[in-house]
Amino acid sequence: MEKVIIIKYGELTTKKDNINFFIKMLRNNISIALTEYNYDLTYDKGRMFIRSADIDKCVLKLKNIFGIHDFAVGYTFKEKDFEIVCDNVLALVKEKDFKTFKVETKRSDKNYPLDSMQISRSVGACILKNKDNIKVDVSNPEVLINIEIRNNEVLVYFEKIKGLGGYPVGTLGKGLLMLSGGIDSPVAGYLAIKRGVKLEAIYFESPPHTSEDAKNKVLSLAKSLAEYNLDIKVHVINFTEIQETIYKKVPHEYLITIMRRMMYRISEKIAYRNKMHILVNGESIGQVASQTLTSMKAINEVIKMPVIRPVACFDKNEIIKIAKDINTYETSILPFEDCCTIFVPKHPVINPESHLCEEYEKLFDYESLINKCIKEHEVIKVTCKNENKYEDLL
């Protein structure tokens, strides 16, 4: 018997024609995630199969792959005689400790002499005869024994491991995540990746007001996201000159609004240049002055590209729960400053007015400042490989 991972696909896109694209993308994503290991991958319209000497390590990687509904580590063998099937199942269940069980059989080989019900019953009887103190429980068994009689092999597997669901990364195109060092934006990124969006990230820094530690923190968060996104490019924008200019020229209650309008403009330009379709950010309705509905409108109206805000309607504790699940929380709460937290006015405007934003923006030549920082921006590729520490990626 040989060990095999049996993967069931997640939610398929509604159009039937997309299934092949979806499967191809999933296969491609799995091969990137498993690149460090030797493995053999086969698939059909219903499932994918992975054979490898590093099964346990592959399992850990598959837990982070979107587009997988569930998977199981099972066993495969070629001899299909019923006696051999029974012996093999017995050998496998002997090592297991349980009181109740159920056998379920699927038979895609329609020429097999027994039908599914007969196989389940006979294997069940065989187990009852050979193992003490156990009984069948069809409604709530402790162990479910799955048998599949396929054309060229038999599969046996037990418990299924829940996959992440969602769509394979990349099936829905590319988006640009505005990634700060906070709690919300990595969670927003994770949720966008879940729906099949391949992300790049953009980070605004303001050295020397923001430190190298703050940047490393963001790269560390990017590395956590790379586990799901498979790798991630981080566009680092030096925002110092823009921020200092705004600070000098603009009435302070509008600092944040104007600064965020600049961030949106730069993000949209970077996104268009890199063939991305949406911006993604961690804004959450009402969280701070810049996230009131009127603020969001005043900020959003400077660009045309859609902005997806996956956590817009989440409470902070709901966001924190996901951040903990995806291991970004501990990094996010490290106390390094963000460019949004320096130059913060005492009384930021809560209901900014568009005509005032436009008026204040006429006070300086923001177009050329924007073009300059886009021209000079740095791109860092962060990969999901285990052995890389983020410091090695700098």
Binding site for Mg ion (CB under 5 A): 180, 182, 338
Q: Helix, strand or coil for residue 144?
A: strand
- The span from the CA of 151 to the CA of 127, in Å, is 25
Nearest of 81, 140, 136 to residue 109 by alpha carbon: 81
3-class secondary-structure state, position 253: helix
Question: Residue 72 or 191: which CB sits closer to Mg ion?
Answer: 191
Number of residue whose CB is nearest Mg ion:
182
In the block, tokens 């400042």 appear at: 369
Angle, helix 354-361 to helix 293-300, in steps of 10 degrees: 40
Q: How far apart are CA 30 and CA 50, in angstroms?
A: 10
Min dist CB 180 to ligand ATP, Å, is 3
Which residues are bridge partners to 106 per DSSP? 148
Q: What is the closest distance, in whole angstroms, from the C-beta atom of residue 333 to Mg ion in the complex?
A: 12
Task: Give me the least distance between CB of 358 and ligand ATP, in Å please.
Answer: 21
Q: How far is the CB of 319 from Mg ion (least distance, A)?
A: 12
Cα–Cα distances in angstroms (integers) from residue 304 to residues 279, 301, 307, 356, in the given order: 10, 7, 9, 20
Is 182 a binding residue for ligand ATP by CB under 6 A? The answer is yes
Stretch that binds ligand ATP, among 60-68, 75-83, 147-155, 285-293 (CB under 6 A): 285-293
288 binds ligand ATP (CB under 6 A): yes
Out of ligand ATP, Mg ion, none, what residue 146 binds, judged by CB under 5 to 8 A for its kind, is: none
Best CA proximity match to 13, nearest among 65, 62, 67, 64: 67
Give the residue with the Cβ less far from ligand ATP, 68 or 199: 199
185 binds ligand ATP (CB under 6 A): yes
The span from the CA of 286 to the CA of 168, in Å, is 32
Tally the C-alpha atoms within 13 A of residue 284's C-alpha that lie toward its C-beta: 19
Closest approach, Cβ 340 to ligand ATP, in A, equals 4
For residue 83, give both structure tokens.
């006696």
Site string for ligand ATP, 159-178 (x = CB under 6 A): -------------------x
Which of these ranges, 36-44, 163-171, 179-187, 348-356, lies near ligand ATP under the rule CB under 6 A?
A: 179-187
State the nearest-atom distance from the C-beta of 185 to ligand ATP, in Å: 3
Cβ neighbors of 289 (< 8 A, separation 6 or more) are 256, 295, 348, 349, 350
Under rule CB under 6 A, residue 179 binds ligand ATP: yes
Neighbours of 280 (CB within 10 A): 27
Nearest residue (beta carbon) to ligand ATP:
182
Q: Per the structure block, which two tokens stand in for 23? A: 């499967």
- Tokens 């056998």 belong to 103
**Residue 326 interacting with ligand ATP (CB under 6 A):** no
Nearer to Mg ion, 180 or 290 (CB): 180
Closest contact distance (angstroms) between CB of 259 and ligand ATP is 9
Q: Residue 29 binds which one of Mg ion, ligand ATP, none, with CB within 5 to 8 A depending on kind?
A: none
Which residue, 179 or 278, has its beta carbon nearer to ligand ATP? 179
- Tell whether residue 29 is a contact of ligand ATP (CB under 6 A): no
Query: Considering beta carbons, is residue 141 or 348 the nearer one to ligand ATP?
Result: 348
Q: How many residues bind ligand ATP (CB under 6 A)?
A: 19
Select 32 or 320, whichever has its Cβ closest to ligand ATP.
320
**What span, in angstroms and rounded, lies between the C-alpha atoms of 179 and 339?**
12
Residue 326's identity, in one-letter code, is I
Binding characters for ligand ATP, 203-222, by CB under 6 A (x = yes): xx------------------
Among 52, 180, 224, 331, binds ligand ATP (CB under 6 A): 180
295 in contact with ligand ATP (CB under 6 A) = no
Nearest distance from residue 287's CB to ligand ATP, in Å?
A: 5
Per-residue DSSP letter, 366? H
Separation of alpha carbons 94 and 44, rounded Å: 31
Beta strands in 86-142 (DSSP E): 100-107, 135-136
Sheet containing 198-205: order of strands: 307-308, 278-280, 174-178, 198-205, 231-238, 378-383
Q: Determine, following the binding rule CB under 6 A, whether residue 339 of this chain makes contact with ligand ATP.
A: yes
Binding site for ligand ATP (CB under 6 A): 178-180, 182-185, 202-204, 281-283, 287-288, 290, 338-340
